[in-house]
Amino acid sequence: MNFESFFGIIQVFVAIGLVVSAAAAIRFKNLIAAVLAMAVFSLILSLEFYVLQAPDVAIAEAGVGACLTTAMYLLAIKNTTDEEVIE
């Protein structure tokens, strides 16, 4: 398998994963599940940055998206409710 076909296959899988995880993040009613979907979205986006040869952005995206925002959202959910409230 040469590099171009491998590159294209990775791109297709990354695009599908991004769309699916983003749709899951806004469709889930449980907020903890939505935060986990956002963490998966950040992980796949970091992989996409790495494939597009931007390792600097990939490190920033992985560190901030996987660790900091997830912990921050979970701490915020802990102080409120973990179910979506429709008013």
Partner 1 sequence: MNQRSLHSDMGVIVKTTARATIPLIGIFGAYVVSHGHLTPGGGFQGGATIAGAGILFLLAFGLGEMKKKYDHHLYSALEGLGGLVFLGMAMLGLGVAFFYNTLWHNGPFNGEPGTLLSAGYLPIMNLAVGLKVFTGLMSAMVAIAMYRRWKE
State the minimum distance, in angstroms, from the CB of residue 29 to partner 1. Answer: 17
Q: Which tokens in the block code for residue 35? A: 């935060």
Report yes or no: 37 and 66 within 8 Å, Cβ to Cβ: no
Q: Which tokens in the block code for residue 5? A: 């076909």
The Cα–Cα gap between 53 and 60 comes to 14
Query: Which of 12, 15, 52, 68 is in the footprint of partner 1 by CB under 8 A?
Result: 68
Query: Which of 27, 52, 71, 84 is in the footprint of partner 1 by CB under 8 A?
Result: 71
Alpha carbon separation from 79 to 60, 68, 69, 72, 73 (Å, rounded): 27, 17, 15, 11, 10
Query: Which of 11, 12, 63, 84 is in the footprint of partner 1 by CB under 8 A?
Result: 63
How many residues interact with partner 1 (rule CB under 8 A)? Answer: 17
The answer to whether residue 2 forms part of the interface with partner 1 (CB under 8 A) is no
> Site residues (CB under 8 A) for partner 1?
55-56, 58-60, 63-64, 67-68, 71-72, 75-76, 78-80, 82
